[in-house]
A and B are shown apart, each in its own frame.
Chain A
Amino acid sequence: MDLKALRYAPTHEWAYLEGGIATVGISKFAVDQLSDLIMIDLPAVGTKLTAGKDFGQVESVKSVSDLYAPVSGEVVEVNQAVAQNVQLLSEDAYDKGWLIKVKIEGTSLPSELMDDTAYQKKVAEESH
């Protein structure tokens, strides 16, 4: 996965589109902010997602946070390794730590999602 090709929601979820399927995860920045992760709730295969609506929750020692869908579509695969052991996210939030794969509605990712440059700028602002 080319990390530069990821697109980001303001709530720190990323999406990567390949052949009509979007792989969805949360950014390393978000994982670091959440600190020590305890568990994650992910939707079942077949669940219909709406962009901007929550599709799951991640619990850390600090808080429980909603996960918001960066795209609309149907869940076609769930990363069971992460569902079983959410701490995988702390090791790798991208290649190993993707959360779900979504068959998207339409042919492209929503245009509101940020590209890598815009997201890194946002993150830099948030941590200052």
Chain B
Amino acid sequence: MYKLDPPPLLFESSRRGRFTACFPSSDVPGRALDDLIPAAYRAETPPPLPELSELDVVRHYTNLSASNMSIDTNFYPLGSCTMKYNPKRNERLASSPGLGAQHPYQAENTLQGLLAVLFELQQFLAEIAGLHAVSLQPAAGAQGELASLLVAAAYFRDRGEKRTKVLIPDSAHGTNPASAHLAGFEAVTIRSNAAGLVDLEDFRSKLDDQTAVFMITNPNTVGLFDPQIGTLARLLHERGALLYLDGANMNAILGAVRPGDMGADLMHYNPHKTFSGPHGGGGPGAGPIAVRDFLAPYLPAPLVARNEDGSFFLDHARPKSIGRVRSFFGNTGVLFRAYCYIRSQGPDGLKQVSEHAVLNANYLLALVRHVYPVPLGTRCMHEFVASARGMAREKGIRAMDIAKRLLDHNIHAPTVYFPLIVPEALMIEPTETESRDTLEAFAATLLKIAQEDPAQLHEAPHSTPISRPDEVKAARTPVLRWKDAGRSAEGVAS
């Protein structure tokens, strides 16, 4: 099997005096350095930078990028992340000068094309949500959660109500309680029942007049649609509380059911999952939010609005708004990709996206469940959560071992050990963009791994430059800076 050695660091490749360009001698008369920069303002020694040729640097980064896994190189069934193929067309369009060369400080009358796109995107996202108003500002899904909860808080404040709690199922993404806490609420955990759905009894016992919002991901993180959603919404609304839908799993329900029809009052989208925004890299991202009409006054300002003459403007005159959550109108490059994706699929295409995502996940589930049991549910939506608990008990093969071994087979690992309600969890989401061949090859690989020598699996991966990093050490004493043993000035953080 092909194995890359980790390339040396740029600092380690440095050779004194090596550089890229040999400059000809200057035909301009020289001036003394003291005339240009007085000695008092000059460093005594050059900065400790590596000295390399251009080719050294190009090879370094190209080789590093070659040891990366991405959706463009490998199957990537990373559950909850919806690692589907992002059409290159959207990338090309997003980099066109009409969008990419605009500046937010331009006069509004020179930004009409961009504003028209954003205005339409607000309308599309409202329609898909079955809700009334949209803010494109939040820069990520988690910020969308936070902005939505701030909207909810502003709504209750406006009504003179003091509500302190946000209820969150134990299967939720960790961002939910984090957002609730940041927005000033107490996060209260609701148990899942034996079927992996919201435990109604626990929900009823915790729902009270202090409850502001219930945050639900539906379908949830175990890949199940909670059919109790109508009841949950009714119980909440009877108490004057709001239903929030975490849109992380929208890829399962586009065009099939709308959050607003489920009773949701507010929600966020993850365009990088659902609408072909770029994955990973830490951003820039987008996390648009949609709300019911009575919450619209509190949305972050400005919104993109339309004048009577058909032109577009940024509407800042929103006195009840929670204010800005992001500069200008959000990360327009990501939003534009979402726009392109929605426009190129169309309503029927979006529905097909979800139908195929669900079909692919169920096909895969059927291929592997006799070896990788799925404790919750016999069918799934866009993803399923298998458990390696039996294998761990009988053979000492844990979810982590399977995940690591998949790398040797040129497959990205699924999400492991999440959600927390399934022991030894392997959370698998194939997405709609994979062929039947790929699904079958993946299933065959999973079944083969289950038969392998546990000792070999404990040492996997065998083909990657780095096999198993020491996660505890990395978390406790991370090395955040390169340190030259001979130079010692910049330390290793611990």
Q: Which A78-128 residues sit within 8 Å CB-CB of chain B? A: 87, 127-128
Cα A63 to Cα B472 with chains together (Å): 12
Question: How far, in Å, is A64 (CB) from chain B's closest CB?
Answer: 8
Partner of A38, one of B174, B389, B420, B475: B475
Cα A61 to Cα B472 with chains together (Å): 7
Cα A63 to Cα B170 with chains together (Å): 13
- Closest A residue by C-beta to B398: A35
Cα A33 to Cα B475 with chains together (Å): 19
Task: Given A61-B471, A127-B393, decide whether A38 and B476 contact each other with a Cβ distance below 8 A.
Answer: yes
Interface status of B417 (Cβ within 8 A of chain A):
yes
Q: Are A62 and B472 in contact (CB under 8 A)?
A: no
Q: Are A36 and B471 in contact (CB under 8 A)?
A: yes
The DSSP consensus for interface residues of chain B is: helix
For chain B, which range describes its interface: under 10, 10 to 19, 20 to 34, or 35 or more residues?
A: 10 to 19
Interface status of A42 (Cβ within 8 A of chain B):
no
- Closest A residue by C-beta to B393: A127
Count: A-B pairs, CB below 8 Å: 22
Question: How far, in Å, is B22 (CB) from chain A's closest CB?
Answer: 50
Count the A residues whose beta carbon is within 8 Å of the partner chain — how many?
Answer: 13
Cα A38 to Cα B472 with chains together (Å): 6
0/1 interface trace, chain B 118-157, chain A, CB 8 Å (1 if under): 0000000000000000000000000000000000000000
Q: Which B365-422 residues sit within 8 Å CB-CB of chain A? A: 389, 393, 417-418, 420
Cα A29 to Cα B285 with chains together (Å): 40
Q: Are A36 and B420 in contact (CB under 8 A)?
A: no
Residues of A with C-beta under 8 A to B476:
38-39
Task: Given A36-B472, A39-B476, decide whether A63 and B420 contact each other with a Cβ distance below 8 A.
Answer: yes
Cα A63 to Cα B173 with chains together (Å): 12
Q: B-contacting residues of A (Cβ < 8 Å)?
A: 33, 36-39, 59, 61-64, 87, 127-128
Q: A-contacting residues of B (Cβ < 8 Å)?
A: 174, 389, 393, 417-418, 420, 423, 471-472, 475-476
**17 additional A-B residue pairs with CB within 8 Å, beyond A39-B475, A63-B420:** A33-B423, A36-B471, A36-B472, A37-B472, A38-B472, A38-B475, A38-B476, A59-B475, A61-B471, A61-B472, A61-B475, A62-B417, A63-B417, A63-B418, A87-B472, A127-B389, A128-B393
